[in-house]
Structure 1
Amino acid sequence: MIFLGCLLLSACSDREEKTYLPEFSTTPPIMDTEYIFGVHPLHNPQRLFEVFGPMMEYLSKNITGTSFRLEASRNYAAFDEKLYARKFHFALPNPFQTVNAVDKGYKVFGKMGDDQNFRGIILVRKDSGIKKVTDLKGKAVSYPAPTALAASMMPQYYLQTHGVDVMTELDNRYVGSQESSIMNVFLGQTQAAATWPPPWKALSAERPELAEQLKVIW
């Protein structure tokens, strides 16, 4: 209270001594142009910022008059909504999302990753007793999202062509992210998990207990 009062008294005294005159600039202030970079839920948000954050900082530092901001999404549905609404200036979607994004006005100018890694894998617990595809009949299987091509569609195609009717003989659970799919089978909430190699390699390296208790069965 005393400090504020002193400031007010000082301000009143200043106004009595000198009349304030505004100054006008002949040029408008220069504002950085912000570009938003969106990445589909390849990893959890923390991991995404660890991987792509330095690139955003580098671009912002080295391209005058611009700033680049990475925006994560909590799940595939949230990412899809932003992507198709054209919220992102740049985006890293999966192939299925890319096809739809082109119809929304996006243009493809690059590709990330090795084609050999673009495949689905199915994980089970080592103590699950599951040995063949048909052992999954009536069981719960976790996936990141229905639109995840490598991590959901390709594993489902494999199961469908190896003796299991995916639509009627499985409890399909779409859990929102690659890590969530893996953690579901690790915690025993599902009997199998679908994902693809990059998130499995990254997560099992961070948490060795996953590699100790889970295995890639297909």
Structure 2
Amino acid sequence: MGFLSRLPAKAAVLLGGLFLGQATYAHHVAENVKSYTLGVVPQFEQRKLFQIWQPIVDELEKRTGLAIHLRGSPRIPEFEKSFIAGEYDFAYMNPFHSLRASASQGYMPLIRDGARELYGVLVVRRDSDIESIADLDGKRIAFPAPNALGASLMIRADLDRKHSIKFVPSYVQTHSSVYLNVALKQVQAGGGVMSTLRAQRAELSDKLRVLYETQRIAPHPISAHPRVPEEDRRAVQQALLNMSKEPAGQKLLNAIPIREAVKADFSDYEIMLDWGLDDYWVSH
């Protein structure tokens, strides 16, 4: 039995108090401005990730009066090590990461997209002769990383448990690299999520078609470490909710994508405790 099957439903709340006395956020002494870090799961290569997130961070700083420093990771495993160690004050992570982060550090979800759901997609080349899941038996399939939720964990679990498919995994670091590997015929199929597939340039996405979709879950939350004082957590949460109500702010959030910011809660994700995905989690 994996740890998630034993994780209390309100772990984030119960664990939160353990870390309130471990404040490590810095202060700009001269300006008396609180400074926090924001970690972002690397779904895209670093340049694109910063193009998406830095304008959002700049707007959050204006609205909250906090200093927020964006921290990228070259690969998803490095991001996972960082949030499990509690290195980020705020973090944008996938739903399964959120469960892990709650268990290890007490991270608490603040906001998520209320206008869509997260689900994994298996893509093949549009001109591929692969027409069904059964055709993937023994084939090479690209994934961003072992623990990417929709793009890897859920797909690998479905291929194994629901379809008894044996395959050769190839981990290529980002969603964009998955789609490129499929288009270039380096692999026969690749795992991603619909939101990142839609974010690709037309000259790439037009070469692909979706072969399979997984079940669905509430999408990635922006979470906070419990060492961040409640007033600052609420300030960031409210700023994001307000941005979503304004055309200019919503345009920035669309790039994540968050089409409609709503408050997030641990209960949004606890259904995954019954999915057995911890059997497919790869520890680093």
Q: Shorter chain as normaliser: what TM range? A: 0.7 to 0.9
Please name the residue that 2:60 is paired with: 59
Distance 2:91 2:163 in 1: 37
Structure 2 portions without partners, runs of 5+: 1-28, 213-284
Deviation at 1:50, TM superposition (A): 2.4
Q: Which has the larger radius of gyration?
A: 1
Q: Does 1:37 align with 2:38?
A: yes
Structure 1 runs not aligned, ≥5 long: 1-27
Give the 5 Å matches for 1:38-117. Answer: 38-64=39-65, 66-114=66-114, 116-117=116-117
The percent identity for this pair of structures is 29
Matched, 1:177 2:171: no
- Cα distance in 2 for residues equivalent to 1:63 and 1:111: 16
Summarize deviations over 1:118-176 as a string: whole Å, max 9, x none. Answer: 111110002221012121122100111111121112222332355443xxx21111221
Question: Counterpart of 1:49 in structure 2: which amino acid?
Answer: F
Aligned residue number for residue 189 of structure 2 = 192
Match of 1:208 among 198, 202, 205: 202
Indicate the structure whose relative CO is greater, using CA pairs within 8 Å and at least 6 residues apart.
Answer: 2
> Does the C-alpha gap of structure 1 residues 70 and 185 become closer, same or farther in structure 2, counting only changes over 3 Å?
same
Letter in 1 for 2:209: K
> Could you tell me which residue of structure 1 aligns to residue 22 of structure 2?
none
Which whole-Å CA distance do the structure 2 matches of 1:77 and 1:107 have between them? 18
Q: Which amino acid aligns with 1:29?
A: A
Partners of 2:114 and 2:157 in 1: CA distance? 21
Q: 2:98·2:109 contact (CA, 8 Å) conserved in 1?
A: no
Give the partner amino acid of 1:39.
V
Mapped partners of 2:115, 2:30: distance in 1: 46
SS in structure 2 of the partner of residue 121 of structure 1: strand
C-alpha separation between the residues in 1 aligned to 2:151 and 2:41?
A: 13
Q: How many residues align?
A: 184
CA contact (8 A) 2:133 2:211 kept: no
CA 1:34–1:208: 2 relative to 1, 3 Å: same
Taking the aligned partners of 1:92 and 1:176, their CA distance within structure 2 comes to: 17
Q: What code does the residue aligned with 2:204 have?
A: L
Per-residue deviation, residues 154-199 of structure 1 (Å, max 9, x unmatched): 222332355443xxx2111122111111111111111000111111
Q: Distance in 1 between matches of 2:114 and 2:199?
A: 15
Give a deviation string over 1:58-88, Cα, whole Å, max 9, x none: 2223433x31111111111110111112111
User: What is the RMSD computed on CA atoms of the aligned residues?
Assistant: 2.0
Alpha-carbon spacing, 1:61–1:214, altered in 2? closer, same or farther (3 Å): same
With the length of structure 2 as denominator, give the TM-score of the two structures.
Answer: 0.60
